[in-house]
A and B are shown apart, each in its own frame.
Chain A
Amino acid sequence: MRLTPKSATLLALVVLIALAPVFFPSGFYYRVGALIFVNALAVTGIVILTGWAGQISLGHAGFAGIGAYACALAPVHWGIHPALAVLLGAAVSAVLAWLVGRPILRLKGYYLAVASLGMGILISMVLNNERELTRGPDGIEVPELGLRAVLKDAGLDLSNGQFWYFFCGIVLILGAWLALNLRDSATGRALRALHGSEVAARTVGMDVAKLKLQAFVISAVYASVSGSLLALQNKFITPDVAGFMHSVEMVTMAVLGGVGSVAGAIFGAAVLTLLPQVLTVFAEYEQLVLGLVMVLVMIFLREGVVPSILRKIRGSGE
């Protein structure tokens, strides 16, 4: 039986998530794993937007901020269950993406990068300054999701780290599955067609602006859910989640792994999440190395690490 690339990616992901804990020397690695999954989820959204629809966003952390603070604020102020707050954050992000994207995506060129940059910084500014609501730069506690206690009552006793590792892992698998389905759907094909040539896509009757807008809204929801998961597992969140550097990190992860592929996105997220953990010894050099990695990858592995390697393997096999 030949596996389609879609099922191959999903199967590899499931196996990886299920088996990796066997090799964990300590509980700390569950936490690192969960962080990788959270980042990979947001980066999967970037793949849909940048890899398939060909648009850049430099403000996606703003949506992550909305998702995160929805989980921090809605349960406390309106008595909404944290799980519903995740959906609320996703809905707010989607509406905002639609409002910002609709006028911008009618324009040709890279205006979305600029508009999203402004939007993201405004969001992080509000989170920093509205101290009465968000408590400002010091951050705010996030209520417990409560699912771990439910599982414990059902007889499944997981440590906090284990629970978030598997929970985020499952959400990532779902997110990747949805993205890969989207890729093979009519919308996904249309998106990739317009990435190839906008003019050609328009000539055959595609509503190019609407397709790009759909991609932007979907990717905003991915970022929002990723922000929510980060807030819920840390039980604490600061406005840094919405900062410009976080937006840049997301794009860098996507581009590093290979912006056209979901597998690449997950690889990129893994590398750039692990890098600072490894570099804590050289904390001083973290920015230096991050910047250097970004430049070198863009020059020497333009399509990203995973597609470049795949091409090498296929090329030598022929």
Chain B
Amino acid sequence: MSELLQFLLSGVTVGAVYALVALGFTIIYNASDVVNFAQGEFVMLGGMITVMAYTAGAPLPLAALAAVLATAALGVAMNKLAIEPARGAPVVSLVIITIGASIFIRGAAQLVFGKQIHTFPAFSGDDPIRILGATILPQSLWVIAGSVAVFVGLWLFFTRTLLGRAVLATSNNRLAAQLVGINTPFVMTLSFAMSAGIGALAGVLVTPITMTSYDVGLAFALKGFAAAMLGGMGNPKGALVGGFLLGVLEGLTAGYISSQYKDAAAFIVILAVLFFLPQGLFGRKSTDRV
């Protein structure tokens, strides 16, 4: 029993990170129909910039804030320099642009930060908390709380603020949104900033547990993408649930089947979802007008 609980707890912790990455995917996907493969690099940058600022002497909260803001700025730059000039290009081109951008960011990170593995201290110490015979790190609680807080924040933003509704309107119908006076380019900018900032936050929260290096982004992108697919692409609630489900599945696979194949869980999920449930758990059935 305590063994099962332990696997569940570690699954929920990684699941929270996947949920954050999946939320980032969802925001950009909704605003622009672009699947942003560079999402994982935002996670890497969040961790790396915090490490850099912290070792330079900044207090940890300030370093974390700087990392989130700097990554958000980078997300905006990516939108302005790479996505916006290619507006109207076929989906293949946009996918390749985001993959190209992710390789570029990884290459740049390797030059700036080097190839070593980095970390910084956990926010509230390293003494594990005991729950019913299982243990959880205080940092895991930070990660879980972080992803739930981001989700609630996004929900309030999208339902209670005018700006949030403008974003939703744009994702529904770009042209119609433009016609009623919504500044759609600004909505795109905002979406990239939020998405990158959330990715960076995931990196800040998880780095004390998993550590970070210049090449961790790809794995986060693929897992977060799987989570978003599982929940139903474009649905924030789906992203949250998909992330946690995927994490738990991975935790159980690692515990009971094989830790070597724990990463396989995500990709078997992708295939199973596509075979049996192409709209994901929370996706709507799409209909097309010809």
Contacts and interface: CB of A to CB of B under 8 A. Distances in A.
A286 B97 contact: no
B175 interface: no
B219 to A, nearest CB: 10
A290 B271 contact: no
Interface residues of B, number: 43
Nearest to A100: B271
Contacts of B266: 118
Given A129-B261, A291-B100, A255 B92 contact: yes
A291 B222 contact: no
A295 B100 CA distance: 5
Given A199-B290, A294-B97, A299-B86, A117 B105 contact: no
A292 B97 contact: no
B238 to A, nearest CB: 15
Contact of A118 (B102, B111, B218, B268): B268
A251 interface: yes
B128 interface: no
Given A100-B271, A114-B274, A294 B100 contact: yes
A290 B107 contact: yes
A167 interface: no
B104 interface: yes
Given A117-B222, A294-B100, A298-B93, A125 B270 contact: no
B270 A295 contact: no
Grouping DSSP codes into helix (H, G, I), strand (E, B) and loop, the B interface class, with mixed when no group exceeds half, is helix
A248 interface: yes
Given A100-B271, A115-B271, A291-B105, A56 B92 contact: yes
Contacts of A104: 274-275
Contacts of B260: 129
A118 B95 contact: no
A258 B99 CA distance: 18
Nearest to A284: B111
A33 to B, nearest CB: 26
Given A115-B274, A298-B86, A288 B104 contact: yes
Nearest to A244: B218
B128 to A, nearest CB: 30
A125 B264 contact: yes
A294 B274 contact: no
Nearest to A252: B96
Interface string A58-85: 1000000000000000000000000000
Contacts of A199: 290
Contacts of B102: 291
B28 to A, nearest CB: 15
A285 B103 contact: no
B268 A298 contact: no
A118 B272 CA distance: 10
B255 interface: no
Interface stretch (A105-113, A139-147, A183-191): A105-113
Interface string A190-219: 000000000100000000000000000000
Interface string A106-139: 0110110111011101100100010000000000
Contacts of A251: 92, 96
Contacts of B85: 299
Best-surrounded residue of A100, A129, A199, A294 (most CB of chain B within 10 A): A294
Interface of A: 50, 56, 58, 100, 103-104, 107-108, 110-111, 113-115, 117-119, 121-122, 125, 129, 199, 244, 248, 251-252, 255, 259, 284-295, 298-299, 302
5 contacts: A58-B95, A107-B278, A125-B264, A287-B104, A292-B100
Closest 6 CB pairs of A and B: A294-B100, A291-B104, A287-B107, A288-B107, A291-B103, A118-B267
Interface of B: 82, 85-86, 89, 91-97, 99-108, 110-111, 218, 222, 225-226, 229, 260-261, 263-264, 266-268, 270-271, 274-275, 278, 286, 288, 290
